[in-house]
Amino acid sequence: MNLNQIMTDLSYFIPEMMLTGILLLVILFDLFQKADTSIRSGYVALGGLILVTIALLGQDVSTSVGIFSNMLAVDPFGNFLKILVTVGTILVMWMSFNSNELKNRRVGEYYTLLLTLVLGMYFLVSATHLLSIYISLEMVSIMSYLLSGYLKEQMRSNEASIKYVVFGAFSSGILLYGFSLLYGLTGSADIFEIQAALSAGTVSPALMMIILVMILVGFGYKIAAVPFHFWTPDVYEGAPAPITAFLSVAPKAAGFAIIIRFFNVALSSAGNPNMEAWAALSNMDWQAVMGILAILSMTVGNVIALQQSNIKRMLAYSSIAHAGYMLLGVVVADQTGIAAVLYYAAVYMLMNLGAFFVAIHIKNEFDTEEIEDYKALGYKAPVLGVIMAIFMFSLTGLPPTGGFVAKFYIFRALIEYGDMYFWLAMIGLINGVVSLYYYMRVVKAMYFGKIELPDTVHHAPVNITILLSVLAIPLLFAWMLGDPLSTFAQNAVQFFIK
Amino acid sequence: MENHLLSIVTFLPVFGAVIIALIPKEKLDIIRWGAAAITGLQLILAIWILYIFDFSSSEVQLQEHFAWIPAFNIEYFMGIDGLSAPMILLTALLSFLAVFTSWNIEKAQKGYFALFLLLDAGMMGVFSSLDFFLFYIFWEVMLLPMYFLIGIWGGPQREYAAIKFFLYTLFGSVLLLLGMLALYFISEPHTFNMLILAEHSSQFGNALLLGMNAGKVIFILLFIGFAIKVPIFPFHTWLPLAHVEAPTAISVILAGVLLKMGTYGFLRISFPVLKDATLWFALPLAILGLINVIYGAMAALAQRDLKKMVAYSSVSHMGFVLLGMAALTPAGMNGAVFQMFNHGTISAMLFMLVGVVYDRAHHRDIEGFGGIAKVVPIYAGVTAMAFFAGLGLPGFSGFISEALCFIGAFPVFTWITIFATVGIVLNAAYFLWAYQRIFMGELNSKYENLEEINNRELFALIPLAVITFFLGVYPTPMLNLMSSTLNHLVEAVKTAGMVAGL
């Protein structure tokens, strides 16, 4: 690898380099800020991320390439997810400025850590080598541990962080073990070469199954799929609320990205990664394993969410269920299936961030996280109530919201694939009915029951109303406009193949 | 000729809802009259649609096409034929009258009328869309306003009733969605267009789904989805609760329009698209119809709550519809759709009348009245008429449609039809017995000063009474409207059965 090659590779690496520069700038900038002005570091970070988004949108990914000796890939798939997580982070930062939990606190590091996490996700969504996969996964995880424990003096936040660390360390240990076995058996850590070795058929299927289960433990924990979900509710409840919102969408999307890339590249038959996703594993029913994970995630997530009274915990369990829906798309693993997952991830980001943001605002204003206490909110704060109702309907997947369109794409992909997934689709849809009950509990609390019309109406600050509308309005019109996002997602299903 | 009448009729209430949302909530009269004006205009448009509708043709008319999501071949496709035209009229009529029934809503009137108009739009959309995807969207969009209308403005158990209604119907909807997607992927080329799906009907009988005949599997999926709406025993348990807890106007809409969507769905989608499976399922459908007739009537007989009795009478009356359409004869089919329309008008009257007495007495216990005919003669008279119409007395429209159902079903399902006639006797029994207990006998001294029915309430009732009476004496216009479409449908299903050797 010569210098010229490195220079060429670096030209594909501009957004990442920009992000690193901004990261360093924020650290330096923060040195000159007092505690009460440290929020300015956040503004710098936000501005920087907007620039990076522009760079990502402008990046030419028409020819996919592998850079740094195929450590990373630059392709439409990675680009889509980078944009997705960056936009998510921008929204979370916006909300963080309004969070009471973070008021009167030095927040310079908070934004630095968040930026580092974004960088980790950029690597994760484009990693094509076992080492880069592992390092970026750790980068994302460690930043997540730190951020969930950011409220140092709060017991719950500490508990969240410690639980997260213990679970995370355990599962990444297993992941690493699986990786090392895979490396030992195939003689390479490059996922393209692993694919070649696997297609040659020299690895015993039984051993391969064990390896894949180990790898799935590591990835499954990142996306909080059942049975690797045990950390989720406590972490989501204890972490600062904006971080909870963030964890439920961005690292999850990145986790799905690596699952899709790893399984579609490493395990596909040569040359056609999209149609024959599971071909290298023809003698084991790998789809069934994924399908069972999906069913478990949906069902367990939904059933436990039924019993939650705290809104953050309820959303935590519901996010497990949503991971299950997205896994259904992964099961299909063809063009339509993956496009559906990407679309779902984007819509899910809008609606889940929205629901969390309303919860944060309610916590700020009325100091409660109990669903019961949302009583008459629809009358006390009409705008907030309507917006929250939109998020709840969308999370349930009712037309005409974006949540319906996203689910429609997933189930469409399942049924198109054929007979064997019809049951999966049916279980998934019935799970949607179950989820209606707990999402509607929020709506019920806001609108039903004895109404005592309040004297004064609460109006959320303008910037929060704008933020929430930015999230809610696309959800309402997702079905109408011939769907630019869906075209975008469809075009994004192109991986770099060596 | 392409015009946009159907779109206008469908989206006019949405426009109205937006307008109402912008009116300050203190201007109560403007809100109410605004809602009345919008639905009134809609009714005029609906009548105009019938005026330009060509009765003699079985073709779909007033078609509107617009490529909506070309990638999936989803169209914005509206159109009506003899099956949907009566339903459009019924929806417009009941929506307009229900606004007047809603006059005394006590809280948050602005929200109420806005949601009511959205509900209206959803119903119109269901009856005028001919693309399955579009149909499904309207079908679901209806649920949201209904959930709020029951849950906020309903009776004491409203919250439970609202969520039960929502869960039940959503469960049905997801099976509908599954069936819809299965149809889409089996049809070649993939389409949601109901007319094309119907043309390709034989594809579904020959394909396999889950290792079974695709047509039958899909039929069952759609059946459950529609059966919950009708509701067909044993999927009916949401109905008494929702009808009883809903405010009067919403009960009127529920019984008058929403229940028809289930049977409309059968006739619009299941029957024409899955012709082989329809023949295969005709007998079970007739048996379920019989169960509905008998079970609904027995349950009505046992009620002390007047509104619950009327609710169960709906279950019974919808049984006649099922029986008539399962027979797959021209008389049965025409009787079934005519009965859908008649039940819409009659049950609307019944619920309005229950609402009238409930507003005054604040209870609905049949045993709790007695002899009030002396105090409120006009009310007693109108109720008598509505009850007679409900029990199917000759001279009222219900008689004609029930008779047609029986005539159509008798040659095909002789014994089932004979048993179903018992339902008529039971129907008469609970209506007459209830009438006797409420209006006849000793006057209950509590109600010596019961207020007489007022002009606004009469205004909502009289058009329905006139229609019921007119169609009972002279049903020809309505039968002409629908017969060419329905006869064509019966023929198509029969021919497909002949081809398949059934």
SS (H, E, C) A425-494: HHHHHHHHHHHHHHHHHHHHHHHCCCCCCCCCCCCCCHHHHHHHHHHHHHHHHCCCCCCHHHHHHHHCCC
The amino acid at B311: A
Question: To 5 degrees, how large is the angle CA B456–CA B461–CA B463?
Answer: 110
**Which of B293, B227, B235, B297 is closest to B263 using CA atoms?**
B227
**Residue B458 pLDDT more than 50?**
yes
Phi, psi of A401 (to 5 degrees): -85, 165
B9 within 8 A of B43, measured Cβ to Cβ: no
Q: For A164-168, A428-432, A489-493, which range has the lowest pLDDT when averaged over its residues?
A: A489-493
**Residue A29 pLDDT more than 80?**
yes
CA distance A264 to B105: 59
For B220-270, write each residue's pLDDT tens digit.
Answer: 999 999 999 888 988 888 888 898 889 989 999 999 899 999 999 999 999
Q: What is the CA radius of gyration of chain B?
A: 22
Place A36 in a pLDDT band, splitting at 50, 70 and 90: confident
| Residues of A in Cβ contact (< 8 Å) with B167 | 433, 436-437
User: Are A422 and B166 in contact (CB < 8 Å)?
Assistant: no
Taking residue B476's Cβ as centre, other Cβ atoms within 10 Å add up to 9
For A323-357, write each residue's pLDDT tens digit.
Answer: 999 999 888 877 888 888 999 999 999 999 999 99
Domain boundaries of chain B, sorted by first residue? 1-273, 279-502
Contacts of B335 (CB under 8 A, 6+ apart): B320, B324, B400, B401, B402, B403, B404, B405, B406, B407, B408
Taking residue B421's Cβ as centre, other Cβ atoms within 10 Å add up to 12
**Residue A272 pLDDT more than 70?**
no
CA distance B456 to B249: 13
Mean pLDDT of B150-158: 86
Question: Between A and B, how many CB-CB pairs are < 8 A?
Answer: 83
Global confidence as pTM:
0.91
For A107-140, write each residue's pLDDT tens digit.
Answer: 888 999 999 999 999 999 999 899 999 999 999 9
Q: Which residue of chain B comes nearest to A398, CA vs CA?
A: B140
| Contact with chain B for residue A386, Cβ under 8 A | no
Return the structure tokens found at A344: 């779902």
User: Are B108 and A451 in contact (CB < 8 Å)?
Assistant: yes
Return the structure tokens found at B226: 């529609």
Q: Which residues pair with A329 in a beta bridge?
A: none
B194 within 8 A of B268, measured Cβ to Cβ: yes
Q: Which residues pair with B80 in a beta bridge?
A: B61
Place B502 in a pLDDT band, splitting at 50, 70 and 90: low
State residue A392's pLDDT score.
93
Q: What is the CA radius of gyration of chain A?
A: 22
Place A417 in a pLDDT band, splitting at 50, 70 and 90: confident
**Residue A267 pLDDT more than 50?**
yes
State residue A276's pLDDT score.
46
**Residue A275 pLDDT more than 50?**
no
Phi, psi of A496 (to 5 degrees): -75, 130
Q: For A194-198, A276-280, B205-209, B302-306, which range has the lowest pLDDT when averaged over its residues?
A: A276-280
**Residue B1 pLDDT more than 50?**
no
Place A284 in a pLDDT band, splitting at 50, 70 and 90: low
| Residues of B in Cβ contact (< 8 Å) with A416 | 185
- Asked, as a colleague might, if the bond just before A399 is cis with ω within 30 of 0, I would say no
The amino acid at B403: A
| Contact with chain B for residue A430, Cβ under 8 A | yes
Q: Which residue of chain A comes nearest to B149, CA vs CA?
A: A448
The amino acid at B80: I
**Which of B306, B171, B151, B144 is closest to B237 using CA atoms?**
B171
CA distance A256 to A219: 8
The length of chain B, given as a count of residues: 502
Q: Which position has the token pair 């011939």?
A: A482
Using CB atoms, which residue from B68, B144, B181 is nearest to A398?
B144
Q: Which residue of chain A comes nearest to B186, CA vs CA?
A: A416
Distances in whole angstroms, Cα of residue B202 to Cα of each of A339, B68, B125, B400, B496: 32, 27, 28, 35, 8
- Min Cα distance A481 → chain B (Å) is 8
User: Are B174 and A430 in contact (CB < 8 Å)?
Assistant: yes
CA distance B243 to A296: 37
Contacts of B18 (CB under 8 A, 6+ apart): none
Average pLDDT of the residues of chain A = 86
User: Are B181 and A426 in contact (CB < 8 Å)?
Assistant: no
Q: Which residue of chain B comes nearest to A490, CA vs CA?
A: B71
Helix orientation angle between A3-11 and A14-31, rounded to the nearest 10 degrees: 80
| Residues of B in Cβ contact (< 8 Å) with A483 | 69, 71
**Residue B205 pLDDT more than 90?**
no
- Min Cα distance A450 → chain B (Å) is 9
CA distance A233 to A231: 6
For A365-379, write each residue's pLDDT tens digit.
Answer: 888 888 888 888 888
| Residues of B in Cβ contact (< 8 Å) with A447 | 148, 151-152
**Residue A25 pLDDT more than 90?**
yes
CA distance A46 to A69: 32
How far is it between the farthest Cα atoms of chain B?
71
Place A277 in a pLDDT band, splitting at 50, 70 and 90: very low
User: Are A451 and B143 in contact (CB < 8 Å)?
Assistant: no
**Which of B254, B292, B258 is closest to B427 using CA atoms?**
B292
Region label for A330, one of left (φ > 0), alpha (ψ between -120 and 50) or beta (otherwise) = alpha
Phi, psi of B154 (to 5 degrees): -85, -170
| Residues of B in Cβ contact (< 8 Å) with A440 | 147, 163, 166
Domain boundaries of chain A, sorted by first residue? 292-498
For B27-48, write each residue's pLDDT tens digit.
Answer: 888 888 988 999 999 999 999 9
B161 within 8 A of B128, measured Cβ to Cβ: no
Phi, psi of A67 (to 5 degrees): -120, 160
CA distance A334 to A354: 30
Average pLDDT of the residues of chain B = 88
State residue A296's pLDDT score.
92
